[in-house]
Amino acid sequence: MPTPTPPPVTPTPPPQLPPRLQGLPPSPYKRLADYPRPKPDSGYGFHINAAAYPPDPVVFEQQILPNLKALGATWVTVWLANASPASLDYVKKLIDNGFEVVLRYHPVVPAPHPYYVPDPNELAQFTRLGVHYIVTGNEPNLKNENVDDRVHSPAEIARQWVVSADRIKAAGGIPLLYPMSSGPSGMEMLRGMLEWMKANNALDALDGAAVAVHNRPLNKPLDVIDDSSFRTYELVDDLVREYLGRSLPILGTEAGYTFGDLIDPRFPRVSPEGHMNGNLEIIYGFRDGRWRDSLFCQNFWILSGFGTRTFFADWWIENPLYFGQNLPIVEALKNMPKFERKFQSPDFQR
């Protein structure tokens, strides 16, 4: 008998993104100085840990909160995957203690790109607490942050961001352009997204928006300007100005040197002292008004594990690769006088 021919397999079509929202009110944020900032504003803080859920409340009260205050942080990045009572309570405590919370809100699985669009009703629960800045994706230039290679393109990521930005605004928040992983693919993705928005009459989605960046210096000096450096934020700023004619706030949601980094062979490995000196120099730049006004914050990745045992090299507190001790910058920052960051424009005076 002849072998039966199996029926043809029809590929599952990709999910359809919802349409844009109409009738959103105009943004109140016209100038950089109009956007929210904490009081006081040191310009820096931390992506607290690498988990997408709140830490144990006792750990928060006894470890996280005291360290944030002692280290002079006024900004924090918090990653959450839902609006559970525990998540809301976590964010409320941070806001009640004066921190400007940058909410990273998207699931762990599946990866957020290119289909995840947030529910504005969920986001509104956070904005009612006082959250302003919301980012609903992460490093879409990486394949592991995309669930479908068929739509791994700047156009599809831009389409996703635009409809998501509308929903963030509808919830009362400020949408952040997705942060890119360092390297040329990140700048290419960002330029491609802006080009798609321009071609599709969607640059208005950037009204009242901001930009998230991961401007990690790796093991490079701070004066290096390329697509994988601290000053990548300047390239991003220039690119945004090219399309909009103005700057948007740039928030470093993952920032800073990592202990032991040796990515670029031209430069030495990041020693404990190099980690301290380099990250202090980033902080001094805010204190002394050396960075562009568009750079609103650098949230260092990461304060510690606090229940998650990943990214050991990045922990500032009780670093497992430093014999379980705090990295030297912790004591240095605790001893440094607190300050209000300086801006170059008088518009920021308050």
Q: What is the pLDDT of residues 70-124, one digit of tens each?
A: 999 999 999 999 999 999 999 999 999 999 999 999 999 999 999 999 999 999 9
Q: How far apart are CA 142 and CA 309, in angstroms?
A: 23
Q: Which of 80, 77, 43 is nearest to 282 (CA)?
A: 43
Alpha-helical regions (H) of the chain: 57-59, 65-70, 85-96, 120-127, 154-170, 184-199, 232-244, 272-288, 328-335
Q: Can you give the pLDDT at residue 5?
A: 64
Query: Is a pLDDT exceeding 60 seen at residue 1?
Result: no
264 band by pLDDT with thresholds 50, 70 and 90: very high
Q: Which of 220, 224, 297, 229 is nearest to 265 (CA)?
A: 220
Residue 89, helix vs strand vs coil: helix
Q: How far apart are CA 146 and CA 137, in angstroms?
A: 10
Across all residues in the chain, what is the average pLDDT? 96
Q: Can you give the pLDDT at residue 15?
A: 82
Q: Can you give the pLDDT at residue 148?
A: 81
Query: Is a pLDDT exceeding 80 seen at residue 277?
Result: yes
Please, what are the domains in the chain? 37-344 (3.20.20.80)
Joined together, the tokens standing for residue 306 give 């606090």
* C-alpha of 336 from chain center: 26
Alpha-carbon distance values, 40 to 37, 100, 179 (Å): 8, 10, 25
Rounded mean pLDDT, 227-235: 99
Rounded mean pLDDT, 317-328: 99
Rounded mean pLDDT, 1-11: 58
Joined together, the tokens standing for residue 282 give 């980033």
Q: Can you give the pLDDT at residue 350?
A: 84
Q: What is the pLDDT of residues 168-177, one digit of tens each?
A: 999 999 999 9
Query: Is a pLDDT exceeding 70 seen at residue 7?
Result: no
Query: Is a pLDDT exceeding 90 seen at residue 260?
Result: yes
Q: Can you give the pLDDT at residue 3?
A: 59
Rounded mean pLDDT, 250-261: 99
Q: What is the pLDDT of residues 289-317, one digit of tens each?
A: 999 999 999 999 999 999 999 999 999 99
